[in-house]
Amino acid sequence: MDALHLIFLIVSLLTVGSVVTAHNITTILSDFPEYRELNNYLLQTKLSDEINNRETITVLLLNNGAVSALAAKHPLSVVKGVLSLHILLDYYDNKKLHAIPDGTTLSTTLYQNH
Ramachandran area for residue 51 (φ above 0: left; ψ -120 to 50: alpha; else beta): alpha
Alpha carbon 5 to chain centroid distance?
Answer: 13
pLDDT category of residue 77 using cuts at 50, 70 and 90:
very high
Q: How much is the pLDDT for 6?
A: 41
Q: At residue 10, what is the residue type?
A: I
Percent of the chain exceeding pLDDT 70 equals 81
pLDDT category of residue 21 using cuts at 50, 70 and 90:
low
Phi, psi of 81 (to 5 degrees): -60, -45
Domain residue ranges in the chain: 2-103
* 23-37 tens-digit pLDDT: 899 999 999 999 999
Residues 93, 96: Cα–Cα separation, whole Å: 5
Q: How much is the pLDDT for 7?
A: 44
**How many CB atoms within 10 Å of residue 35?**
22
